[in-house]
Amino acid sequence: MKSFYFLKVMNIKRFIGIEKKRILSVVFLIAVLAVAQNNYAQKASELKYYDVKQLIAEGHAVMIGQAEKPQNDSCYYYRLPDKLKGVVRKELWELGCDGAGIAIRFSTDAQCIGAKWTLTYNFAMAHMAHTGIKGMDLYVCHKNKEWKFAGTAFPNGKESSNVFIRKMNGEKREYMIYLPLYDGIEEMAIGIDSTATIYAPAGSLVENKLPILFYGTSITQGGCVSRPGMAYPSIISRKLHRPVINLGFSGNGRMDRNMADWIKTIAIAAIVIDCLPNCTYATTRDSSDYFIGSIAYANPNVPVYIVNNFEYPKQFILPENNNDMVQENILIKDIYKRLKRHGTTIKNHATGKEFHTGPLKNLRFINVSKKRGIDNEDTVDGDHMTDLGTSHFTTRLLKHLKL
């Protein structure tokens, strides 16, 4: 009996000891998780915010990607200046309010970076990620020479706020935030942890170079990449360390005369005209001389690159579509040769006067047809590029861009 009683007591003590260890282990794990969560999950609402307009006014940030600064404060983040409202087509103006290609540059020693932004439309499409349409991207300059992706701020409503990245080491670095591709920004603020400071971007990194202007379609604008930094003009910008102006207008890159009249006044290093997917054969035939001719004539020392249609993955099973593309590519190549060798006669639609340009020697041609543009797996819908598609397309364009 005594032996039985002794064993029973020992088993109870052993059980209590094991349970104590388990409880202590659980308490320790909960404490570790609580500390980790506190360090990791810094919320957007906990950051200190700085209005971007004020940062720019005070010289602590720079906005790049606009061809012309709007005069009206309500158009502050738009691609088109307010003077074009009511001048260009309604569709062009509304698309010109989108933020494609515009970026905010600054330096900070923050450990956590976020943003608050008010969207113009809170737009959505079934075939494009919301992060690309109305989210924002953060890039960091690595060793003063290479831009690397750092994080995406997911949109969460017309009044959005979110964090790009947490738990950095607080080293002062150069950053760049890309604005949404298919929506506009009315107000914007950058958030950092309360002990950090926002500084002006480093002088050596604010390139004192003229931008490359890209005029084109939804693909130029960024459809349908997953995030703003993956639009092909922005990739080219980072590769060449040169600012770009993205004038891609979804479905509306149609060589409008009043767009040519504005574009030819912009100080640029080069222009890439990549609008054929939005143009019919008739549009290309009737509009190219004025659009291409007037821009090239007004900027004789600026290379003007004309891009033809790339071959769509499904084109081979659509005979009519394939024939249209082939014929339009033949047409634009003929127009290019004629303008380069002989020039064209341009009529000023305001005065009615005509003048001859003479040979437009600054024209260049980029052939992206017949597998020179994109590959079979490069689109989301057979037309618009994914991130993979824009990466391939960028590589091919960079072979031709000589600045």
Question: Residue 63: which CATH number?
Answer: 2.60.120.260
- Cis bond before residue 97 (omega within 30° of 0): no
* Rounded Cα distance, 271 and 369, in Å: 20
Spell out where 277-385 has E strands. Answer: 304-307, 345-347, 354-356, 363-366
Signed CA dihedral, 34, 39, 42, 48: sign only: positive
Same domain, 220 and 271: yes
- Is residue 1 in some structural domain? no
Kindly state the tokens that stand for 207.
Answer: 């390139």
Same domain, 213 and 262: yes
Q: How many domains does the chain have?
A: 2
For the chain, state the CA radius of gyration.
Answer: 27
Written as one letter, the residue type at 72 is N
Half-sphere exposure of 368 (CA within 13 A, CB side): 29
Same domain, 102 and 179: yes
pLDDT of residue 145: 80
Strand pairing partners for 146? Answer: 142
Name the 3-class secondary structure at 104: strand
Same domain, 134 and 187: yes
What is the span of the domain harbouring residue 100? 43-204
Same domain, 130 and 47: yes
- Is residue 6 in some structural domain? no
Residue 325: closest CA among 268, 275, 277, 380: 277
Domain's final residue, options 163, 185, 204: 204
Same domain, 179 and 213: no
pLDDT of residue 21: 55
* Rounded Cα distance, 39 and 169, in Å: 12
Helix count (H) and strand count (E) of the chain? 10, 17
Beta strands 146-153 and 136-142, pairing class: antiparallel
pLDDT tens digit at each of 403 positions of the chain: 444 444 444 454 554 455 555 544 544 444 434 433 444 457 888 999 999 999 999 999 999 999 999 888 889 999 999 999 999 999 999 999 999 999 999 999 999 999 999 999 999 999 999 999 999 999 999 887 899 999 999 999 999 999 999 999 999 999 999 999 999 999 999 999 999 999 999 865 556 789 999 999 999 999 999 999 999 999 999 999 999 999 999 999 999 999 999 999 999 999 999 999 999 999 999 999 999 999 999 999 999 999 999 888 888 788 777 788 899 999 999 999 999 999 999 988 778 889 999 999 999 999 998 777 788 899 999 999 999 999 999 999 999 998 8
Domain's final residue, options 147, 182, 204: 204
Same domain, 275 and 147: no
Question: Residue 324: which CATH number?
Answer: 3.40.50.1110
